[in-house]
Amino acid sequence: MSKFTIKDFKGVIPASLSIFDINENLDIEATKEFTKFLLGFDIHGLYLTGSTGEGFLMKSEERMETVKAVMEVAGDKIPVVVHVGNIGTKRTIELAKQAKEAGATAISSVPPFYWHFNSKQIFNYYKDIAEAVNIPMIIYNVPLAGMMSAEMIKELSQIENIKGVKYTNTDIYQIPLIKEAVGDDFMVYGGADELASSNLLVGVDGIVGSFYNLIPDLFLKIDGSIKNNEVAKAYALQKNAVRIISYLVDGGNMVAGIKAVLREAGINAGYARKPFINFYGEDQKNLARGLVDLANKYDMKNIHVIDKLREKY
């Protein structure tokens, strides 16, 4: 059982990478080491086996092996939420039970996708999971899986054990409306990295994102600036974050790009699974050099991974 509650799951939360070796095999020792790397920045929580964690490219057994490895390192230090989403309700419930047994603070899931399920089917999917496993659940609004309306989120919030929503979209005006509709006890998390400062300003309980694996210190500074009412400072830091995000997203291979830059900085983040296309050799070096050039152009300072790359270039 987790020593944390869902109310402890707030602040800056990496949607953690899953670590595979060059042959696409799960690397448990590297998973533990990467978790220690993230903990070194005093992050506030972890979100496992989601989109960034390549959860849909993993067997159920591999997802749980990853969870157990992370929990061994981080479970008594910070709250950990496990994404258990799958198209099928039965398999999702199986993963949810295993996540609870591993000591997760909560579970999370995207809506069922691919078959364009209607609102009743999606509602039942979440209801069935929440009733089958007595652990807090965070539902997930994300365009890749289909967006739920604010009204549906309100309906789902009435189900016991559904305690929050991860909201990954650019129409963040919906966030205060959701908060107003469901009440302050229902947790809302901003999931768009490029809007972290804006999400914090409109009142999310935490921010969960991919680039917090690469530049967690920058997002922690953004969070701290907002808490200190230093909005102009937060905005300036956010601009640098957006520049870094845009640079790596423009390649169309975000997860592989993040992992490549971390590897080049001497941090074993492993490789992405196919059909993602990894960076090797000169391509990896050029990607890292380009990031250093970008950071130098905009005088970005005191960002750990970029400073490690500067030592090389």
Lowest mean pLDDT among 149-158, 198-207, 289-298: 149-158
Which pLDDT score, from 0 to 100, does residue 170 have?
A: 82
Q: Please indicate whether residue 64 or residue 149 has the higher confidence score (pLDDT).
A: 64
Between 4-18, 157-171, 277-291, the lowest mean confidence (pLDDT) is in 157-171
Task: Round to whole Å and give the CA distance between 83 and 18.
Answer: 12
Cα separation, 14 vs 78, whole angstroms: 12
Higher pLDDT, 251 or 21: 21
By the 8 A CB rule, do 130 and 161 touch?
Answer: yes
Q: Does 92 score more than 90 pLDDT?
A: yes
Please give the Cα distance from 141 to 18 (Å, whole number).
22
- Which sign, positive or negative, has the C-alpha torsion 234, 191, 273, 80? positive
* Domain segments of the chain as ranges: 6-228
Q: 143-202, pLDDT tens digit by residue?
A: 565 667 788 899 999 999 999 999 988 888 888 888 888 888 999 999 999 999 999 999
List Cβ neighbours of 304 (8 Å cut-off, separation of 6 or more): 41, 215, 217
| pLDDT of res. 150 | 80
The 10s digit of each residue's pLDDT in 224-233 is 999 999 999 9
Q: Could you tell me if 165 and 151 are in contact, meaning their C-beta atoms sit under 8 angstroms apart? A: no
The CATH number for 6-228, chosen from 3.40.50.12160, 3.40.50.720, 3.20.20.70, 3.40.50.1580, is: 3.20.20.70
Q: What integer is the mean pLDDT of 60-89?
A: 97
More confident residue, 130 or 149: 130
CA–CA separation, 46 and 164 (whole Å): 15
Catalytic residues: 140, 166
As to burial, measured by CB atoms within 10 angstroms (0-12 exposed, 13-18 middle, 19+ buried), residue 117 is middle
Question: What is the pTM for the complete model shown?
Answer: 0.96
Mean pLDDT within 195-210: 96
User: Residue 76 pLDDT > 80, yes or no?
Assistant: yes
